Amino acid sequence: MFTHIDDKYAYDGKLGALYSKDKTEFKVWAPEADGAAVRLYHDCRDEKPYRNLPMTKSQKGVWSKVAYGDLDGVYYTYVMTYDGIEQETVDIYSRSAGVNGAMGMVLDLKSCDPAGWDNQDYVKLEHYTDACVYELHVRDFSIDKSGNFCYKGRFLAFIENGVKNAAGDKIGIDHLKEMGVTHVQLMPIFDYERIDETDLHRPQFNWGYDPRNFNSPNGAFSTNPYDGRMRVAELKRLVYALHKAGIGVIMDVVYNHTFATADSCFNKTYPKYYYRLWGENGETFSNGSGCGNELATERKMVRKYIIDSLCYWAEEYKIDGFRFDLMGLYDIETLNEISARLKEINPNVILYGEGWTGGDSPLDWNKRAMKLNARHTPDFGFFSDDFRDTVKGNNFENRDKGYVNGASGNEEYVKEVMCGRIPHPQIPNLTKYAWTDSPVQTVNYVEAHDNLTLWDKLYYTNGTESIETRIKMDKMAAAMVFLAQGIPFIQAGQEFLRSKPFPGGTAFDHNSYNSPDAINSLKWDRKSEYKDVVEYYKGLIALRKAHSAFRMYDGEQVGKNMYFIDRLPQHVTGFVLTGDNEFEEIVVFFNPNDYPVTLHAFGKYGVYVDGGKAGTEVLRTVEDDYTVEAISTIVLARKKPEPAEEEYEGLATD
């Protein structure tokens, strides 16, 4: 429908409020508008502008206007006219906003940089598989009464060092450093709809998958949502604090849809262009997101917008990576261009997302960035729902069991997911059904913000069993995440058995997108209550980071250096890893049975992981028969022999 518009009017220049000290140029792309103007406001609460400036249409359908003087801190909107009807709208390119995102803000971005900002750099990874990703929501991180944060629910909670829970254990950013995670994935931090920023004293919560202004930080996380400068400056301080701690920042982005549709800023700027449509004449908005609309990523100016936005976040905020919501609604060409452009800015950028949609879409199946098309977007990882459901049971059936909590007969599936779901010479099924050839495209997880937490899932599937038994299941699931080939991913609080109970504690929230803080907040006292579990996760992360055999980055490596062991006791799975930076051989066994099994060691091995502990130090040694306890993991390893010293004979003399 809009192909002719792309052919005639696609524009490759800069758009938005282009600020300099002596002038600001406003530019908006709207080739079929009848008129456009920019309105300037001193304050985002003003009802009337202090200036109304008509804009002039120039090449490629771009309307522009230069306003002279230093406009730093001035708020602005556009007025777009179609068929004689004027509509005021925020600039889709606005880089900050006033309260509730109704006005954009002209801003000297350099003035928002914290001290030392220019001396930091991105967190560098040699390969995606070197990452350990920790997903969290800004409000969840610090809002609970169990955390003594000054900036509860705000960006600035991340700069607070020395915060402890009631038992005296480290929490907040000190906990993240202690755990050893390489990256924090922040759930939406852009400006989104369903929080009223004029009433932040009233508890409000939303995950944030309801985009409003993609390029502006969320005012609800700032100390003053009425001042667009604060949200920018404080988010930069968050990023800087994490970078100083050696932790990268991954931004959860949601360019697949907007919250509003007909009255969105995109539709007011250029009706229907930015959205996919059904019908010969585009009568209805398509809804592949399940949220009322979906952006038409294949259109040139939509693609440009998304790429411009991502590059802006990467350059201005030094964001280290991006997690894409409903990535199946993006076209493959757009994703590959995204990768190329972002790697020019940061060669170490990490990219991954959900390889599915939320509903039907007009976008051709062969063009969708679905998991089954992963080979066509080699720089992107995909969440492995195969891994998730194999380990703990079907995500959408509360009482369905997986490998760690009582399912039987899925040992072959365990092998498939532990090798990264890539072709492997010992697994014929993967020759036909593998959806990728590389472990860098596989994101392994058993818990995320969506659906039940792992601990709550184990209550539904094994609620009659003791807490001790369920903790063993949780530990085994964690071991599978961190010992599998691919990218390990956990949700914040998973390491201390995060739970989201409804009042009464016998039913659990599987979709807490707008649930109260009592359900969503991180209960930091649980870190002390389940310290043994925290230490186990911490040890697994340290072991993975120390040994390259757990972090192989291409399919050939995995096929050559990962061997699955046959003829094991019922339900037990195991494999051998070689090619490590330190160990000659690593042997891993999972025993989900409710009874111990005895195995034989062919040589002397150190035990680094068992049912109780995990880490980089030897727990004990075995060299004959040894026991793998019920519902537990064991990791054995043998160090490479020291190189023999050459005998020194001295210099020959007469």
Pair 297, 331: CB distance under 8 Å: yes
Pair 571, 411: CB distance under 8 Å: yes
Location of structure tokens 């994703």: 335
Strand, coil or helix: what is 185? strand
Location of structure tokens 């055999």: 549
For the four alpha carbons of 43, 48, 51 and 55, in that order, the dihedral sign comes to positive
Q: Determine whether 152 is exposed, middle or buried from the number of CB atoms within 10 Å of its CB (0-12, 13-18, 19+).
A: middle
Cα separation, 650 vs 588, whole angstroms = 46
Active site residue 554: no
635, 633, 631: which is closest to 404 by C-alpha? 631
266, 228, 235, 236: which is closest to 96 by C-alpha? 228
- At residue 76's C-alpha, the angle toward residues 71 and 81, to 5°, is 135
- At residue 482's C-alpha, the angle toward residues 477 and 485, to 5°, is 115
3-state secondary structure 487-500: EEEEECCHHHCCCC
Overall size of the chain counted in residues: 654
Cα separation, 467 vs 178, whole angstroms = 26
Strand, coil or helix: what is 112? helix
Report which secondary-structure segment, H or E, holds 625: strand 625-628
From residue 316, alpha-carbon distances to 123, 233, 293, 310, 351 in Å are 15, 11, 29, 10, 18
Active site residue 325: yes
Strand, coil or helix: what is 546? helix
Find the catalytic residue in 210, 331, 354, 411.
354
| Cβ-based neighbours of 352, under 8 Å, separated by 6 or more | 128, 321, 323, 324, 380, 381, 382, 383, 443, 487
From residue 270, alpha-carbon distances to 210, 282, 400, 441 in Å are 20, 14, 47, 36
Neighbours of 252 (CB within 10 A): 21
Find the catalytic residue in 135, 160, 191, 325.
325
Pair 383, 354: CB distance under 8 Å: yes
Question: Widest CA span of the chain, in angstroms?
Answer: 107
What are the tokens at 190? Answer: 């852009």
Residues designated catalytic: 325, 354
